[in-house]
């Protein structure tokens, strides 16, 4: 029988406290119209935003408050994902729908800001809370930061899916572009708040070795580099643009599947294991983030080419090409989000945060900069594509 040492006892107490801070509330579903479903999500997000903005953590309530916040964020994120997976084409967008997407984007930014403020309360607990309670609060705050990042990603994915499935893009083009620009701005601000929260928690911190991920990550970096090179050298004209982009969709899907494999492994491991961070793991994830920025830049270039070739292109070819562009921007955006989630989950479950703090912050800063540039390029590509759809009545 393994002897329960003081260190092991402390670890067990921490795990028990962490577990008590992550009780998940049941998910409720509703079968309403898209407009009503989006309005319901906005209402729930407003309630959550109000709840978090009025939360103050103390030694007496930190676990209960963090448990409530986690349950609420998880429920809202699950509701967003449920609506996203239930979407089916064609969709007819309304101004109310786009207003709701704007509100959700603004609220995710506000919620991230509230969590950043709450992280400062955790700092004040260090002098009064029991050690295992304090460590549980640190872990809970990192988890909340990751969950809010996931929620923001889900909002962006849902907005992209709604756009892809819309059958009245031309009529709503101007309003769609406003929404996409707002989404781009807010995701950057949300990521900045998440980074600040994580840096706060890392500053307060003093197993599965992530070296085990490096073979898959190295292979993924190689595949992503090949995709990036192929995209950078792709040449299409008014006759073959639709077929070339359709072929590219297949290549992107292959890389996306590889991302999902390592993403699922990291997420599953993070639920049951702590991590000992290997520096090469963070370097590889940073490389992936940079590569995906290059993919987004290529899409931005494609959108300009399509706009130039549009007057010479037949309507069926142009229609298929613009549809492919919208799907490609969505898929590459999702891949970029997954990379950020992988880094967040590794950090949350890290045993050696203190030793790796400098590289962690460096990687997170690189990720934040790349996500801004990636989203800028994807927004530009989407804007140009939507303008073509509107101009040519597709």
Establish whether the linkage from the previous residue to 38 is cis, with ω within 30° of 0: no
pLDDT surpasses 60 at 112 = yes
At 16, the pLDDT band (50, 70, 90 cuts) reads very low
Span 40-90, pLDDT tens digits: 999 999 998 888 888 777 777 777 777 788 888 888 889 989 998 888 888
Average of per-residue pLDDT values in the chain: 77
Task: Tell me how far CA of residue 342 lies from CA of 56, 256, 358, 367, in angstroms.
Answer: 29, 14, 18, 11
pLDDT at 166: 84
Minimum mean pLDDT range among 101-105, 228-232, 277-281, 374-378: 374-378
At 24, the pLDDT band (50, 70, 90 cuts) reads very low
pLDDT at 265: 84
Tokens representing residue 360 in the block: 């962690």
Spatial CB neighbours of 120, under 8 Å, sequence gap ≥ 6: 200
pLDDT at 213: 82
At 27, the pLDDT band (50, 70, 90 cuts) reads very low
Residue holding tokens 């640190």?
138
pLDDT surpasses 70 at 20 = no
- In whole angstroms, give the CA distance from residue 267 to residue 160: 23
pLDDT at 40: 92
More confident site: 125 or 330: 330
At 204, the pLDDT band (50, 70, 90 cuts) reads low
Residue holding tokens 């990521």?
191
pLDDT at 158: 87
Give the DSSP letter of residue 352: -
pLDDT surpasses 50 at 4 = no
Minimum mean pLDDT range among 54-63, 236-245, 317-326, 376-385: 54-63
Minimum mean pLDDT range among 38-47, 199-208, 264-273, 384-393: 199-208
Give the DSSP letter of residue 25: P
Cβ atoms of 145 and 71 within 8 Å: the answer is no
pLDDT at 41: 92
Minimum mean pLDDT range among 182-186, 213-217, 294-298: 182-186
Span 251-292, pLDDT tens digits: 999 988 888 888 888 887 776 667 777 788 888 888 888 888
More confident site: 116 or 156: 156
More confident site: 291 or 185: 291
pLDDT at 353: 59
Element (H, E) at 209: strand 208-209
- Residue 109, judged by CB atoms within 10 A of its CB (0-12, 13-18, 19+), counts as buried
pLDDT at 243: 92
At 31, the pLDDT band (50, 70, 90 cuts) reads very low
114-117, long-range: CB < 8 A, 24+ apart:
114/49, 114/52, 114/53, 114/55, 115/52, 115/69, 115/141, 115/144, 115/145, 115/148, 115/193, 115/194, 115/197, 116/193, 116/194, 116/196, 116/197, 116/200, 117/53
- In whole angstroms, give the CA distance from residue 379 to residue 326: 10
CA 368 to chain centre: 11
Span 188-199, pLDDT tens digits: 777 777 667 666
- In whole angstroms, give the CA distance from residue 130 to residue 152: 33
Q: Is 208 helix (H, G, I), strand (E, B) or coil?
A: strand
- In whole angstroms, give the CA distance from residue 25 to residue 144: 15
Beta bridge partners of 91: 166
For 86-145, where are the E strands, in sequence order? none
pLDDT surpasses 80 at 115 = no
At 124, the pLDDT band (50, 70, 90 cuts) reads low
pTM higher than 0.75: no
Quick one: average pLDDT of 352-357?
59
pLDDT at 357: 64
In the chain, what's the furthest Cα-to-Cα distance? 78
Cβ atoms of 289 and 339 within 8 Å: the answer is yes
Q: Is 223 helix (H, G, I), strand (E, B) or coil?
A: helix
Minimum mean pLDDT range among 148-157, 236-245, 298-307: 148-157
pLDDT at 29: 36
């Amino acid at each position: 029988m393994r002897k329960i040492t003081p260190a092991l006892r402390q670890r067990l107490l921490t795990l028990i406290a962490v577990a008590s801070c992550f009780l998940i509330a049941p998910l409720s579903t509703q079968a309403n119209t898209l407009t009503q479903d989006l309005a319901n999500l906005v209402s729930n997000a407003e309630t959550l935003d109000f709840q978090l903005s009025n939360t103050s953590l103390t030694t007496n309530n930190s676990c209960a408050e963090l448990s409530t916040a986690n349950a609420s964020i998880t429920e809202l994120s699950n509701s967003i994902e449920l609506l996203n997976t239930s979407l089916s084409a064609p969709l007819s967008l309304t101004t109310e729908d786009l207003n709701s997407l704007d509100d959700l984007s603004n609220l995710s930014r506000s919620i991230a800001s509230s969590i950043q403020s709450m992280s400062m309360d955790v700092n004040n607990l260090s002098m009064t809370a029991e050690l295992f309670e304090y460590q549980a609060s640190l872990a809970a705050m990192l988890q909340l930061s990751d969950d809010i990042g996931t929620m923001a990603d889900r909002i962006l994915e849902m907005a992209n899916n709604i756009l892809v499935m819309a059958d009245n893009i031309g009529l709503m083009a101007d309003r769609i572009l406003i929404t996409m620009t707002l989404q781009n701005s807010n995701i950057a601000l949300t990521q900045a708040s998440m980074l600040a929260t994580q840096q706060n928690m890392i500053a307060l911190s003093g197993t599965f070795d992530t070296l085990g991920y490096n073979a898959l990550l190295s292979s993924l970096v190689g595949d992503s580099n090949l995709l990036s090179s192929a995209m950078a050298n792709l040449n299409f004209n008014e006759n073959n643009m639709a077929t070339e982009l359709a072929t590219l969709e297949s290549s992107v899907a292959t890389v996306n599947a590889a991302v999902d494999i390592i993403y699922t492994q990291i997420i599953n491991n993070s639920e049951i294991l702590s991590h000992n961070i290997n520096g090469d793991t963070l370097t590889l994830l940073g490389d992936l983030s940079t590569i995906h920025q290059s993919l987004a830049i290529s899409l931005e270039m494609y959108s300009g080419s399509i706009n130039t070739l549009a007057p010479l292109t037949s309507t069926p070819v142009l229609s298929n090409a613009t549809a492919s562009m919208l799907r490609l921007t969505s898929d590459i955006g999702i891949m970029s989000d997954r990379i950020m989630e992988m880094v967040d989950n590794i950090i949350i479950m890290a045993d050696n945060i203190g030793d790796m703090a400098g590289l962690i912050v460096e990687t997170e800063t690189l990720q934040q900069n790349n996500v801004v540039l990636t989203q800028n390029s994807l927004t530009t590509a989407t804007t140009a594509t939507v303008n073509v759809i509107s101009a040519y009545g597709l």
